[in-house]
Amino acid sequence: MTDATNLDGAITLITGAGRGIGQGIAEVLSERGAVIAMSDLDADAALVASTAINANGGQSVPFGGDTTSQESMDGLAAAVIEVFGRIDILVCNAGVIGAPGYQDRMEHTEEDWDATFGVNVKGFVHTANAVSPHMRERNSGRVVNISSHGGRKPRGAKAVLGNIQAPYSVSKAAVIQWTHLLAIELGSNNITVNAVCPGVLWTPLWEKIAQNRITADPSLAEFTPREIFEQSVKERMPMGREQTPRDIGKAVAFLASDDASEITGQALNVNGGAVMN
C-alpha cells in the first residue's frame, strides 16, 4: 500500500526554494519524507529556508543557481547528484512576475517580456535539460512545473489589473505547453511531467495592486491592502479563500508520489475553482 503523501527518502531538487511558493513546496515535501536540494538565485535565502527546514527535523541542503543559465543549471544538477547520489523529483518553480520594478507599473514593458520568458520559460527548459539525462538513465523520475491559473484561458470584460500581468500569463501558458511536450518526450523513460497551476496567493504584487487601488479611490482609504485583497478573493474565487504555498506543496507531493504514476502531461489548477479545466 502506498500513500499519496509518502515521499520517504526521495531526493528532490526545487528551484526558487528560498521563499514563497517554492519554500512552501519544500516544507511539505520535507514533512512527507523527501530530502530537499533547495536552490535559489538568492543563495542566502536558500540557506535561511534550508536551515528552518532542518531545524524542523527535515533534511535539506541549500544551493545557489541561476535558471537563466544552462551552465549554472548543469552545475547545480551535478552538485546535487554528487551530494545525494541521484535526483528523483524535480520541481521547477523559480519564476518572476515581471522585470524589476514591476510592482510600480500597471502597463508591461519590453523588459517584462524578456524577464518572464527568460526565467519562466527558458529557466524551466534549462533545468529540465540539466536533470532529464540523469532521469532517463535511471528510467525513473518526476518533474513538476509550477505554472499559474493565469496561464489558462482568460475571461472577463476588462483588465482590472492593467496589462502588467500579460507577459507573466503568456509565459505561464508556455509552461503548460512545455509540460505537455516534455511529457511525451520523457514518457518512454517512465518519467512523468506535470504542472501545478496556483490560483491567488498573498504576494508583494498583490500588496502593491491593493495599495494602488487605495491610492486611486479615496473611498477605500479606511482599508488596508490586505483587506482589499481579501475582498477581491471573496468576489472572484468560488471557495472564497486565497491559496497558500503549502496548498501548492500538497498538490506537488501528490504528483511526485507513487499514487500519480499514471498521471503525466497534465496541468492541475489549485485555485479554489477560480478557473476550471
Partner 1 sequence: MTTNPATQLEGKVALVTGAARGIGFGIATVLAERGSQVAICDLSDDASAEAAEELASAGHSAMGIATDVTDRDSLDAAVERIIENYGRIDILVANAGVWASTGYEDRPEYNDADWDITHSVNVRGVVHSAEAVIPHMQERGTGRIVNIASHGGRKPRGVATGRTLGFPYIVSKAGVIQWTHGLAIEMAPYNITVNAVCPGELWTNMIQGIYTNRRNVSDALSDGGISDDFRVSMENTVPLGRGQTPRDIGHAVAFLASDDAAEITGQALNVNGGAKMN
Residues known to be catalytic: 168
- 32 part of the interface to partner 1, by CB under 8 A: yes
Binding window for partner 1 (CB under 8 A); candidates: 71-79, 110-118, 212-220, 248-256: 248-256
The per-residue DSSP string of 45-83 comes to HHHHHHHHHHHTT-EEEEE---TT-HHHHHHHHHHHHHH
Min dist. Cβ of residue 98 to partner 1 (A): 25
In sequence order, which ranges of the chain are alpha helices (DSSP H)? 20-31, 43-55, 70-84, 110-116, 123-138, 166-187, 204-216, 225-236, 245-256
Tell me the CA distances in angstroms from 43 to 39, 47, 121, 260, 261, one per residue in order. 7, 6, 21, 32, 33
Question: Using the rule CB under 8 A, which residue among 55, 157, 216, 276 binds partner 1?
Answer: 276
Q: Residue 103 gets which letter from DSSP?
A: G
- 273 part of the interface to partner 1, by CB under 8 A: yes
- 247 part of the interface to partner 1, by CB under 8 A: yes
- 24 part of the interface to partner 1, by CB under 8 A: no
Q: Angle at Cα 115 formed by Cα 252 and Cα 157, nearest 5°?
A: 75
Window 172-201: residues binding partner 1 (CB under 8 A): 179-180, 183-184, 187-188, 190, 192, 199
Return the bridge partners of 146, or none: 196
Residue 20 in contact with residue 46, Cβ under 8 Å?
A: no
Min dist. Cβ of residue 177 to partner 1 (A): 9
- 217 part of the interface to partner 1, by CB under 8 A: no
Nearer of residues 32 and 126 to partner 1, judged by Cβ: 32
Residue of 44, 19, 26 lying closest to 95 (CA atoms): 19
What would the x/- binding string for partner 1 be over residues 251 to 270, using CB under 8 A? x-xx----xxxxxxxxxxxx
Binding window for partner 1 (CB under 8 A); candidates: 121-129, 137-145, 164-172, 239-247: 239-247
- 52 part of the interface to partner 1, by CB under 8 A: no
Calpha distance 152→259 (Å, rounded): 26
Residues at the interface with partner 1 (CB under 8 A) = 1-6, 31-33, 179-180, 183-184, 187-188, 190, 192, 199, 238-241, 243, 247, 250-251, 253-254, 259-273, 276-277
